[in-house]
Amino acid sequence: MNSTRARFFYGLAVVAFVSSQAMAYREGPPAGMTGSPGSTGNTCMQCHGFAAGPGSVEILGVPTQYALSQTYDLTVRISDPSQAGAGFELSVENAIGTHVGTLSVIDAVNTQLNTADYINHTLDGVDNSVAAWAVNGNSADYQVRWQAPASPAGPITFWAAGNAIDDNGFNSGDFIYLTNVTAIDPTVPAASTWGLIVMAIVLLTAGTLAVARRYRPATVRA
């Protein structure tokens, strides 16, 4: 009898554990799942184990060239016509995986910091994405804020993982999408500036050649 009761309670414990594991990440994934250097390449696929489907993840609002100490409001958008909701995780890093600048929450209902280096969805965020999925065109937007560093930090890359879920309550049937966008260092001349520099060099060279031709000594004939 005792062994039967022990097996019964053991079974309940296993079921409870499996259920909690299956549902845990709806409240937010572990830190370090964006596929970035700082995440050592880890992504949400390690838990959900599914390749991408017909959707995508985007990071909107990333500047081409960041300004020192400037604050940027970004949108992480996950879309998938075959799914029912979505979550995400985002980090901002340099080329060697050092986290750069400051991430902060501007929508405490739907997003949360995961350590100081990552930001991701909340349980309410996923639930709200499911409720408004069809109305939003089979997509969900998450708003986040990032402040650039006070001193130049080289090129900075924004990394995001988006999880488009089928809302079956488990980690099966989900699609993981990855993306990254790079902003260049403020000390690097922007494309328009490079164009002006090239034009100035061309004009200077042309002027120098014209002067050289004008004052070229006459050829002396024998």
Could you tell me if 22 and 170 are in contact, meaning their C-beta atoms sit under 8 angstroms apart? yes
In 3D, which of 57, 87, 45 has the Cα closest to residue 181?
57
User: Residue by residue, what is the 3-state secondary structure of the chain?
Assistant: CHHHHHHHHHHHHHHHHHHHHHHHHHHCCCCCCECCHHHCCCECHHHHCCCCCCCEEEEECCCCECCCCCEEEEEEEEECCCCCEEEEEEEEECCCCCECCEEEECCCCCEEEECCCEEEECHHHHHHHHHCCCCCCCEEEEEEEEECCCCCCCCEEEEEEEEEECCCCCCCCCEEEEEEEEEECCCCCCHHHHHHHHHHHHHHHHHHHHHHHHCCCCCCCC
Confidence (pTM): 0.75
Domains of the chain in start order, with CATH, are: 2-183 (2.60.40.2550)
Mean pLDDT of the chain: 82
Predicted confidence (pLDDT) per residue in 53-78, tens digit: 899 999 999 999 999 999 999 999 99
Q: What is the pLDDT of residue 207?
A: 58
Confidence of residue 173 (pLDDT cuts 50, 70, 90): confident
CA trace torsion 209, 214, 215, 217 (10° rounding): 100
In 3D, which of 173, 167, 148, 165 has the Cα closest to residue 65?
148
Confidence of residue 11 (pLDDT cuts 50, 70, 90): very low
Question: Which comes out higher in pLDDT, residue 36 or 5?
Answer: 36
Alpha-carbon distance of 54 to 15, in angstroms, equals: 33
CB atoms closer than 10 angstroms to residue 114 = 20
Question: Which comes out higher in pLDDT, residue 153 or 219?
Answer: 153
User: Percent of the chain having pLDDT more than 70?
Assistant: 70
Question: Which comes out higher in pLDDT, residue 15 or 187?
Answer: 187
Q: Residue 149 pLDDT > 90, yes or no?
A: yes
Q: Residue 22 pLDDT > 90, yes or no?
A: no
Q: What is the pLDDT of residue 6?
A: 42
